Amino acid sequence: MLDIQIIRENPDLVKQGIQNKNVEIDFDKILKLDQERRDVIAEVEILKHDRNLVSKEVASRKKNKADTSELINQTREIGQRIKGLDDQQREVEAQLHELMLQIPNLPHTSTPVGTDASENPVVKEWGERYAPDFKLLTHLELGESLDLFDFPRGTKIAGPGFPLYTGKGARLERALINFMLDFHIDQHAYTEVLPPVVSNAQSMTTTGQLPKFEDDMYKIPQDDLYLIPTAEVPVTNIHQGEIIPEENLPIRYCAYSSCFRREAGSYGKDTRGFLRLHQFNKVELVKFTHPETSYEELEKLRRDAEDILEALGLEYRVIELVTGDLSFSAAKCYDLELWAPGEARWLEVSSCSNFEDFQARRGAIRYKPQGGGKVQLLHTLNGSGVATPRLLVALLETYQQADGSVLLPEILAPYMGSAGLHLK
């Protein structure tokens, strides 16, 4: 959520930033409600001052045994007017809050201005293109021949987009999750957490999923809970409503979770195999940082996700998102994309974002300066470290052999155990 003071003092700057995200917001209505709220508050303060003066006069008259009935009636009338204005203030604030929740975060000044993903610049490329002298198979062909997963039975159980991993495929999925968790804990000093896979409405609002993206989520109406679309939601809300000592920053968490997305409006797009799912696994990285160092921490976060891809020897590139392709809550974002040789295309496996104080304001997540002073909002960041479906696609297609088998990278050996690295 944006600070209303920023909108009030820099309306043109805010309007331009939001327009650069291809979003239209009625700022005139917001500023009108804000002014109405302030006018009501000012009027209430005047009335309270008047009531105090009348109350003092009542006390003085009582002391002198004078008649106070008229003044007491006057205080009652003032009290009723204050109550009416308090009700008006609550109604105006509710309307204003609802509108404020619709405003996306402002892009950071370093985010390139652009309309959509076609304008995203490539800022880094790593690895060599896998181009063997035999016909490359897709992950679907490899998975079927090696009995790694069974999409028809997954569909029978739950519906399209809910994969069933089998045999060595299930072992490989578990191996990737454990490998990434261990890597981030041991190499990058993250603290592991295992969060719930459901969150309440307040937690979803903190991270920006609500109210805008409710149609994209699975809801459990009986309990007013949502299946999480990403571990970013529960992990960011670990410190909801808390004040963190400055000396404890930055805080770094990594978490595995299943993720659930209805993908409303996306039917028919990239629906083959693991390219677009309703349920998938992901290792998530979340940071709580000091505002002055959050962009340094964003670069480190991106680097942490890249280390996973390099350790697995996979070709990847880094995309910097233009303003029109940024998510609702992000001020700046990098996407990491893997090259899938069988699909002959780039596949996104991670988004690394700085939300600045946007989520912290929604969730009242603050820090207390070490040298004293006013409590401040901190900055939150998150990135996939990484999501497994498209990682699995690139891994299988990159390490496939001429005989149709797959020889996995040596770094996964401790996690594959008796299943072995040679899938055949």
Choose, from 337, 356, 390, 397, the residue flagged as catalytic. Answer: 390
DSSP at 10: -
Alpha carbons 9 and 6: distance in angstroms, whole number: 5
Choose, from 174, 246, 348, 405, the residue flagged as catalytic. Answer: 348
Q: Catalytic residue at 174?
A: no
Residue written as tokens 């303003």?
Answer: 323
Q: How open is the CA angle 256-259-260, to the nearest 5 degrees?
A: 165
Alpha carbons 313 and 179: distance in angstroms, whole number: 14
Choose, from 276, 302, 362, 366, the residue flagged as catalytic. Answer: 276
Q: Catalytic residue at 351?
A: yes
Q: Which two three-digit tokens encode residue 145?
A: 């021949």
Choose, from 351, 362, 366, 397, the residue flagged as catalytic. Answer: 351
DSSP string, 152-218: HHHHHHT-TT---B-HHHHHHHHHHHHHHHHHHHHHH-PEEE---SEEEHHHHHHHT-TTTTGGGS-
Per the document, the length of the chain is 424
Q: Catalytic residue at 261?
A: yes
Q: What are phi and psi of 380, to 5 degrees?
A: -115, 145
Choose, from 261, 262, 362, 366, the residue flagged as catalytic. Answer: 261
Long-range contacts of range 83-89, CB-CB < 8 Å, 24 or more positions apart? 85/40, 85/43, 85/44, 85/47, 86/44, 88/40, 89/37, 89/40, 89/41, 89/44
| CA-to-CA dists, residue 344 to 144, 266, 396, angstroms | 19, 22, 13
Give me the helices (H) in 227-377, please: 232-236, 294-311, 358-363
Helix, strand, coil share of the chain (percent; to 5) = 45, 20, 35
Give yes or no for a cis peptide into 386 (omega within 30° of 0): yes
Residue written as tokens 């519906």?
Answer: 159
* 112 touches 121 (CB < 8 A): yes
Q: Annotated active-site positions, please?
A: 261, 276, 348, 351, 390
